[in-house]
């Protein structure tokens, strides 16, 4: 059967289908919180999934190691009973950072510096850098990728490689759209620069998550709202997909919400597919 032609099933709750899976890979930003407040419904749904026997891996494109995301979730009072382990793009990216030259220009906020812990790299000024690691914008509440055009042009002219620690282009923070490292990486590629990725939709983060789940070969359900990250990555990995439609693509998907054949057609147009669709995770 052609995965791109399948019509997804609309469901009202994760409990309707989770019994068919051993492992749940669940996105974080846009599914379990919006950057400012948690989703109690998602918290309850994932807690119930674990109680039903599934292992829950929170799989996020955050550039920070898992412990940093855990601290953020704790601050939002998101229950640790709702998940078994956290796997981040930062976790998967650390291997890429450790394999290359050590003189790194850090492109991102200071809160992301823990990604380098224990790797033996040197954070240096722009002119001394031999590689760039992008975790985001310096001031993501105020800046856009356009503010980085000149800097990226200088790096591209020198032929420096960029490691992108967060392939997301934008996320919601409350009601605001915030640019992420993926937006800078896309601009750098347009300039002819080379970018390495480990986060969703790229396979390395799924391999880390599979090891972390401790259920190799188990039946996996991937939950997410990002079409080009969560859904594309899950399709490439070969897992079933639960698309959360009231996320980052809510306006784009709204015209297809009442017709799953139309939803399938729209996803197929993007060379994507979903097994299930839900409004918000519950």
Asked if residue 115 and residue 72 are part of one domain, the reply reads no
The residue assigned the tokens 């503010």 is: 147
Q: Say which range, 1-10, 64-73, 74-83, 110-119, has the weakest mean pLDDT.
A: 1-10
| Domain containing residue 181 | 96-197
Amino acid 2: pLDDT:
39
The CB density around residue 139, as the number of other CB atoms within 10 Å, is 9
The domain boundary, picked from 174, 197, 220, lies at: 197
Q: What is the reported pTM?
A: 0.85
Nearest to 171 by CA among 226, 89, 112: 226
Tokens of 155: 């790096």
Q: Where are the alpha helices (DSSP H) in 191-259?
A: 203-213, 232-237, 250-253
Please provide the average confidence, as pLDDT, over all residues in the chain: 93
pLDDT for the residue 198: 87
Residue 163: pLDDT over 70: yes
Residue at which a domain ends, from 155, 178, 197 = 197
**How much is the pLDDT for 58?**
98
218-244 average pLDDT score: 96
Q: What is the pLDDT of residue 100?
A: 85
Domain boundary among 170, 197, 224: 197
Q: Is the pLDDT of residue 236 over 80?
A: yes
Instruction: Compute the chain's Rg from CA coordinates.
Output: 19
Number of domains in the chain: 2
pLDDT at residue number 222: 98
pLDDT of residue 202: 93
- Predicted local distance difference test score (pLDDT) of residue 5: 53
Contact residues for 276 (Cβ-Cβ < 8 A; gap 6+): 8, 9, 10, 11, 17, 240, 241, 242, 243
Q: Please report, for the domain that includes residue 25, its CATH number.
A: 3.40.50.1000
Residue 243 pLDDT class (50, 70, 90 cuts): very high
Residue at token pair 């980085």: 148
Average pLDDT over residues 149-171: 95
- Are 44 and 169 part of one and the same domain? no
pLDDT at 235 over 90: yes
Mean pLDDT over 259-265 rounds to 96
- Same domain for 138 and 170, yes or no, is yes
In this structure, are 86 and 101 located in the same domain? no
Residues 80 and 212 in one domain: yes
Express each pLDDT in 13-40 by its tens digit: 999 999 999 999 999 999 999 988 999 9
In this structure, the number of other CB atoms found within 10 A of the CB of residue 172 comes to 18
Read off the tokens for 13.
């709750």
Q: What is the pLDDT of residues 174-230, one digit of tens each?
A: 878 899 999 999 999 999 999 999 899 999 999 999 999 887 678 999 999 999 999
Same domain, residue pair 130 and 42? no
- Do 30 and 83 belong together in one domain? yes
Q: Is the dihedral of CA 259, 15, 268, 197 positive or negative?
A: positive
pLDDT at 1: 34
Are 258 and 232 in a shared domain? yes
């Amino acid at each position: 059967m052609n995965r791109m032609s399948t019509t997804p099933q609309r469901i009202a709750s994760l409990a309707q289908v989770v019994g068919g899976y051993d492992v749940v890979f669940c996105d974080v930003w846009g599914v379990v919180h919006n950057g400012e407040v948690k989703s109690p419904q998602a918290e309850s749904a994932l807690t119930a999934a674990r109680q039903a026997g599934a292992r829950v891996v929170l799989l996020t494109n955050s550039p920070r190691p898992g412990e940093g995301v855990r601290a953020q979730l704790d601050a939002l009072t998101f229950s640790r009973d709702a998940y078994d382990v956290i796997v981040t793009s930062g976790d998967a990216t650390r291997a890429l950072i450790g394999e290359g030259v050590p003189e790194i220009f850090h492109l991102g906020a200071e809160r992301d510096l823990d990604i380098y812990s224990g790797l033996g790299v040197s954070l240096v000024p722009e002119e001394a850098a031999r590689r760039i690691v992008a975790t985001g914008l310096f001031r993501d509440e105020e800046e856009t990728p356009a503010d980085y055009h000149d800097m990226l042009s200088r790096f591209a002219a020198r032929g420096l490689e960029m490691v992108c620690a967060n392939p997301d282009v934008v996320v919601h923070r409350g009601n605001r759209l915030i640019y992420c490292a993926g937006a800078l990486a896309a601009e750098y590629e347009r300039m002819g620069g080379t970018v390495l990725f480990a986060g969703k939709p790229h396979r390395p983060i799924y391999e880390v998550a599979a090891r972390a789940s401790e259920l190799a070969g188990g039946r996996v359900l991937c939950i997410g709202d990002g079409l080009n990250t969560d859904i594309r990555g899950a399709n490439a990995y070969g897992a079933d997909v639960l698309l959360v439609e009231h996320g980052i693509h809510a306006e784009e998907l709204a015209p297809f919400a009442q017709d799953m054949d139309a939803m399938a057609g729209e996803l197929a147009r993007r060379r994507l597919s979903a097994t299930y669709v839900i409004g918000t995770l519950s």
